[in-house]
Amino acid sequence: MQDFHKFIDGFKNFRRYYYDAEVDYYAALRDGQHPKALVIACSDSRADPALLMGCDPGDIFVVRNVANLVPHAAEAGRGDAVLAVLEYGVRHLKVEHVIVLGHSCCGGIHALMHPETTPPDSHVAHWVSIARPALNRMNEAAGEDPAANRRNCEEASVLLSVENLLSYPWIQRRVAEHRLSLHAWYFDMEVGDLLAYFPDVERFESLHEHGLHRDLSGLGPHLRRLVEGG
């Protein structure tokens, strides 16, 4: 119950230091939301996108699921929550950026790489199978270091989700019209760094160290090469 009381005290602090202190700001939010970015993040309790990115209420539209996955259009099921958020964010809110945010030490990717740890008929096993193409790519170049293999699979799954975004014509069309940019980001919680995939070097690099003077407009024309596996 101690943690539960922590949540209640946390809300009291929110009311005192944010809601009551920013009355006009929250009054404006009641009239509607206008986020510029949609973030697809993992449900992992250690990787909160709003906290990592220093966001205020109204800054980002968020969907979180196990391993930050996006199903391919050919495999998407009826009533899929990820697609509902994507559709609402892209078509209704008209966000300008979609960020797929993965992270290190991901339990979902661990379940994908070690299926023996999860019953085959479980919801988790079924869901993470979306990332099996990423696992197959990682296996083709797997080395002796298990930690490196896991990292490669986590990063590959982020790129796979970006590829899968393009399987939806209404997303592909907005990207082609330069009304929407797609981004692949990765939070390395072991060193406390946020990385982005830079197509010019074809790898994830630190946004803090290398991203300040780089093009962050999105993956742009390189997306087609990602989809084709080039």
Same domain, 11 and 96: no
Q: Give the chain's residues under pLDDT 70.
A: 1, 142, 210-230
Q: Which domain holds residue 1?
A: 1-32
Same domain, 19 and 117: no
Return the pLDDT at 210.
Answer: 67
Nearest to 166 by CA among 127, 220, 95, 92: 220
Same domain, 22 and 133: no
To which H or E segment does residue 39 belong? strand 37-42
Same domain, 62 and 96: yes
Return the pLDDT at 217.
Answer: 59
Return the pLDDT at 1.
Answer: 62
* Structural domains of the chain, count: 2
Return the pLDDT at 170.
Answer: 96
Same domain, 107 and 170: yes
Nearest to 195 by CA among 107, 56, 102: 102
Same domain, 12 and 47: no
Same domain, 164 and 72: yes
Same domain, 141 and 37: yes
Q: Determine the Cα–Cα distance for residues 122 and 108; give it in Å rounded to an integer.
A: 12
Question: For the stretch 137-164, what's the b/e string if a residue is b when 16 or more beta carbons lie within 10 angstroms of its beta carbon?
Answer: bbeeeeeeeeeebbbbbbbbbbbbbbbb
- Tokens representing 99? 């960020």
Between the two ends of the chain, the Cα-to-Cα distance in Å is 52
pTM of the model: 0.90
Same domain, 145 and 222: yes
Distances (CA, A) of 111 to 14, 41, 107, 125, 145: 36, 17, 6, 7, 18
Same domain, 38 and 26: no
